[in-house]
Amino acid sequence: MSASSLPAFDAFFSGPAREYLLRALDLAIEEDGEDLTSKALFTSERFTAVVVAKQQCVVAGLPMVPIVLERTATHIGAEHSWNLTMNAKDGDTLEYGDELFQLEGDALLLLTAERIILNFLCHLSGIATLTRRYVDELAGSGVTLLDTRKTLPGLRYPEKYATVVGGAQNHRKNLSEMIMLKDNHIDRAGGIIPATAMVRKAYCPCPPIEAECRTLDEVREAVEARVDRIMLDNMGPETIREALALIPDDIESELSGGVSLETLAELAATGPDFISVGRLTHSAPTADLSMRMRRTS
């Protein structure tokens, strides 16, 4: 994925998303408390730190580094300075030993912020790396990869940012972005057609409606209701093909449920518009990154 096609960090984290990000960073800083060890051992010393990749990975979260440093310095409660030189950018594929950035600054600041920086970078880079594997597997299929809301509480926006860095598109970021009729809604309303009617009566204009379908009969009902997108939930390839044949071109189709790298190509070959994958965020292994420090003064 080219850098020019990546979302601008500041644009992604604007409005409420920015506040959620800052809250997450501040909580991480507060959780760590006072660094008694570094405070006792270092006063005016300055360190140089280098963060390196210990595996091949797609990096995500680098613009968070200066924000963590700024907010950690405020938390420590003293004047602290640093110089940051980036050697990579979000979306880059790094090899073992590649440097992400170099950082020179007060020892207490660097040591206090070290684990917070690494925790976020390792987590988000792990998500971006796994996402890129799925995107590469889908190359040439014409199918768009989507993430889900299966994210860690408090980290919804950073995790969804990482999936976009990896090459996916965001499904809805919150419950207000789209109407999504899931099994509990459909069962309560007595079917997709009455559920759709209730939603359209409640909202004018009505947001886009997606209906989760478990059977071919529900697909037929969703088509009759003229929803905007039909999600085929946990269906096998043959059933998916039958379902897609029922869906007109002006209604989008999405596959979801139990999707893995091993099943992705077979599912994509059925021809949906989208495939959504929860494990991009809920099961991504962390990337292996490390920070090496040395005293400079």
55: Cβ contacts below 8 Å, ≥ 6 apart: 96, 287, 288
Q: How far apart are CA 235 and CA 272, in angstroms?
A: 12
Contact 242, 265 (CB under 8 A): no
Is there a catalytic annotation at residue 212? yes
Is there a catalytic annotation at residue 160? no
Is there a catalytic annotation at residue 106? no
Q: How far apart are CA 220 and CA 225, in angstroms?
A: 9
The active-site residue, picked from 115, 226, 241, 295, is: 115
Residue type, 180: M
SS3 of residue 229 by DSSP: strand
Inter-CA distances, 163 with 45, 54, 60, 147, 292, Å: 38, 21, 9, 7, 27
The active-site residue, picked from 90, 92, 114, 212, is: 212
Contact 253, 212 (CB under 8 A): no
The active-site residue, picked from 71, 89, 133, 150, is: 150
Mode of pairing for the β-strands spanning 93-94 and 57-58: antiparallel
The active-site residue, picked from 210, 218, 233, 254, is: 233
Is there a catalytic annotation at residue 182? yes
Is there a catalytic annotation at residue 150? yes
The active-site residue, picked from 23, 39, 182, 188, is: 182
What are the catalytic residues?
A: 115, 150, 182, 212, 233
